[in-house]
Amino acid sequence: MRNHKNDHPYKIINHDFNLFDNTDWTAKEELALLNGLLNYGNWQSILKQSTVLSHRSVDELKQHYDHYYLEKAGSDQFPNIELQENVQYKPLMPYRFKTNEVPDPIRGDDNVYAGYSAARSDFEYDYDKNAEDMVAKLDSLNPSDADYALLSNLQVGILNAYRRRQGERQRRKAVIREHGLIMPQKTKSWLQRYYTTITPMVCDKLTRFMQFYTGQKFVYLMEGLHRIGELKLQTSRLIEYRRHGICTLQEAKLYLRLKKHREACMKDLKRFQQASELSFKYKQPVSLNVGVKRRGLTPLDIVGLPGYEKITTNERDLCRTIRLSPDNYLDLKQILIQENNKLGYLKLLTARRLLKIDVNKTRKLYDFLISEGQIVPKVND
């Protein structure tokens, strides 16, 4: 290319020209669309953030991008885009195991799951096992010429009902095989992976929808929700760091190390203050030797756990101390408050019967709710 000189001809080009043929989209709009896809990846967000495309609709964006970019109508030099179905994903647990790595289910009538027999590699007891009774004596009907049409329609109706029951039986078999429910212990251990982010209660509700998914697609759903929970956890930690003025990774590591050291010191100080030898009611000579230290439980790190943003600062300290997750604390708190509102008061014995958790945790939770004024103890309690 020759060097440009001041006497060479030139032409001023702005963004207000059509980049592709047979379209009213300008180059400025094309650039805004591509930048929006890179920055947001969401059609609604692109329209909301871009003033250039504010007069367009979501359908227009989708159709224009599919036709001119994905289908290469704008230029044959665009790269080929493979369909999503051709993308190979790495299977996740419990579907990542090869056949020779998966042990057979436990054999025996008392240990089979859903009637599955490992020796037969099939189900010993089918769902709706009495369905065949409908057609067992179907050939015994001998209609005369007068009622032939009526009984023929009746036979067809019985066969259709039997076919529907057979279809439901096969559907249940497919669900059990597809989702690895023949080995329930392995499936349950796989679901525990999501307990810290999705929570056990939500996992139990989501498993009801497994019948509408293939096994791999259900794993993708769970992994997506799990990733959201991890991002939420990381975001909560970043918020905590920025609240304390921390802006670098080195400062964050130092903060965590000092925080852990401070919690250990506070635990030792609390144990020292609770020593009976230091109480004014203790009549024996005061001794600074408080005996052997009891090693308490390490405070639970609840930052970013489900329900963390719904509880107050005092409640967070309580959850860390007694090692309760925020969502579990909110459930237990709701149970106690409902019982208190029903009776007008709440006894400690009743709280222990309702919660069915460690008695020390129940006592601390009970005393905390009393101090917060959310429940009222019985006078003689």
Buried b (16+ CB within 10 A) or exposed e, 101-129: eeeebeeeeeebebebebeeeebeebbee
Detail the DSSP E strand segments found in the chain: 116-117, 122-123
The CA distance from 104 to 183, in Å, is: 8
Q: Is the pLDDT of residue 186 over 80?
A: no
> Domain map of the chain by residue range?
27-85, 89-102+185-243, 106-182, 246-286, 308-371
Residue 381: C-alpha distances to residues 152, 288, 326, 343, 371 (Å):
75, 35, 27, 14, 15
State how far the Cα of 65 lies from the Cα of 245, in Å rounded to an integer.
43
Quick one: which of 353, 352, 378 has its CA closest to 365?
A: 352
Res 294: pLDDT: 54
Q: What is the distance between the alpha carbons of residues 47 and 62, in angstroms, rounded to a whole number?
A: 12
Does residue 118 or residue 369 have the better pLDDT?
369
Going by pLDDT thresholds of 50, 70 and 90, the confidence category of residue 171 is confident
pLDDT at 87: 45
Q: Tokens 């030099």 appear where?
A: 77
Of the candidate ranges 23-37, 153-167, 174-188, 240-254, the one whose mean pLDDT is the lowest:
174-188
d(CA 56, CA 74): 19
Is 183 within 8 Å of 94 (Cβ atoms)?
yes
Mean pLDDT (whole number) for 178-193: 72
Looking at the domain 308-371, which fold is it?
A: Arc Repressor Mutant, subunit A (1.10.10)
In angstroms, the Cα distances linking 219 to 4, 92, 96, 199, 204 are 60, 7, 11, 16, 14
Q: Would you place residue 89 in the very low, low, confident or very high pLDDT band (cuts 50, 70, 90)?
A: very low
**Can you give the pLDDT at residue 111?**
43
Higher pLDDT, 13 or 266: 266
Residue 98 is predicted with a pLDDT of: 44
Each residue of 255-306: pLDDT tens digit?
888 888 888 888 888 777 776 666 555 555 544 454 445 555 677 878 777 7
Long-range contact list for 26-32, CB < 8 A, 24+ apart? 28/52, 29/53, 29/56
